[in-house]
Structure 1
Amino acid sequence: MVQIIAAVTQNGGIGKNNRLLCHLPDDLKRFKELTFGHTIIMGRHTFESLPGLLPGRHHVVLTGNLAYEKKFPAITVCASLGELKKYIQSHADCFIIGGAMVYKECMELAQVLWITEIDALPEADAFFPPIVPDTWKETQRFHHDADKKHKYAFDFVRYERKARK
């Protein structure tokens, strides 16, 4: 199953200057729980924003820089969007983790969206594509209030693709 996971602010923001907009420890924990043991797919900027290879997950990176394969032999490099989409279609058990362009281009391939909806409006320069109600149905929602570890309230939301007509 192709799944997308993202933390999204009220205006659709997902990042600024190649960094997450909000530090939410429970969201990071959920990210790890959901993606562990699966392939994670991302663009080069997202990969470079990680603290390193994430344990227990195979990394696939979209980049035209083929030297990445030598520099990071543990990852799979897809050199074009077409190559990435072919990879996703042949390796259907994966999570798409960003960034904005990869989300936009791969939305059509996903069956499930795992979205953390953050009750905040920090400045952003990268945005998640709109979740169109005609295409997606909300199937779960769990609220988390702001607290000592979480500056903002947020909801964990699961969307499933509606049957294609």
Structure 2
Amino acid sequence: MKVTMIAAAAENNALGKDNDLIWHLPDDFKRFKAITSHHHIIMGRKTFESFPKLLPNRKHIVITRQGDYKKEGVTVVHKLEDALKQCPGEDEVFIIGGGEIYKQALPYADKIELTRVHDTFEADAFFPEIEESVWKLVSSEYHEKDEKHKIDFTYLTYSKNPLNPT
């Protein structure tokens, strides 16, 4: 099973503030939907609670420290390792946030799909630093700001460097 982390992060690795996104990039939402649909998505409780409803065509796995946490249509676990065990037979699973879950998932990840938002923001959740000795950039696609996107951004795909598979 391949573990892919997918995120949008600013130049200073900002992910969000007050359990919300800081920017609005419709094309990034479309890309996220296309990549994660029909897969298991693993996230922390706060990330899950930031959604207005369950994301269609995905199996939701929520990691929380709350022992009695229950939500309809969601598998609840208390550790990342348990979340990964909930995905038997899956070719690829997606870690979708937040900051603490990304940090925990980094050693398990095989791939990172990162939308780099070309600005810096005040935030309270951050994506972990991508170490060039561990990760290799395999593709990059730049998007200039336009009428629907107020900020330039780049889709970056990283794979774990086989010379240093830490």
Runs of 5+ unmatched residues, structure 1? none
Q: Which amino acid counterpart does residue 161 of structure 1 have in structure 2? A: K
Which one has the bigger helix percentage?
1
- SS in structure 2 at match of 1:114: strand
TM superposition shift of 1:73: 2.7
For 1:122 and 1:140, the matched residues in 2 are separated by 25
For 1:66-108, what per-residue CA distance to the aligned partner results, in whole angstroms no more than 9, with x for missing partners?
Answer: 4433xx2311111234433544687562100000000000111
Equivalent residue, structure 2, for 1:125: 124
CA gap of 1:89–1:135, structure 2 versus 1, over 3 A, is farther
Q: Which amino acid counterpart does residue 94 of structure 2 have in structure 1? A: F
Q: Which amino acid counterpart does residue 83 of structure 2 have in structure 1? A: L
Q: Does 1:134 align with 2:136?
A: no
Equivalent residue, structure 2, for 1:97: 96
Instruction: After TM superposition, list the pairs within 5 Å mapping 1:42-53 onto structure 2.
Output: 42-53=43-54
- SS in structure 2 at match of 1:14: strand
| Contact 1:66–1:77, Cα closer than 8 Å, also in 2 | no
Instruction: After TM superposition, list the pairs within 5 Å mapping 1:61-76 onto structure 2.
Output: 61-69=62-70, 72-76=71-75
Q: Which amino acid counterpart does residue 101 of structure 1 have in structure 2? A: E
- SS in structure 2 at match of 1:68: coil
- SS in structure 2 at match of 1:45: helix
- SS in structure 2 at match of 1:108: coil
For 1:10-37, what per-residue CA distance to the aligned partner results, in whole angstroms no more than 9, with x for missing partners?
Answer: 1010010001121100000000000000
Give TM-score scaled by structure 1 length.
Answer: 0.92
| Contact 2:80–2:105, Cα closer than 8 Å, also in 1 | no
- SS in structure 2 at match of 1:83: helix
TM superposition shift of 1:122: 1.8
Give TM-score scaled by structure 2 length.
Answer: 0.91
For 1:98-144, what per-residue CA distance to the aligned partner results, in whole angstroms no more than 9, with x for missing partners?
Answer: 00000000111111100000011121111100000011000111010
Runs of 5+ unmatched residues, structure 2? none
For 1:92 and 1:30, the matched residues in 2 are separated by 19
What is the percent sequence identity of the aligned residues?
Answer: 42
Root-mean-square deviation (Å): 1.8
| Contact 1:13–1:127, Cα closer than 8 Å, also in 2 | yes
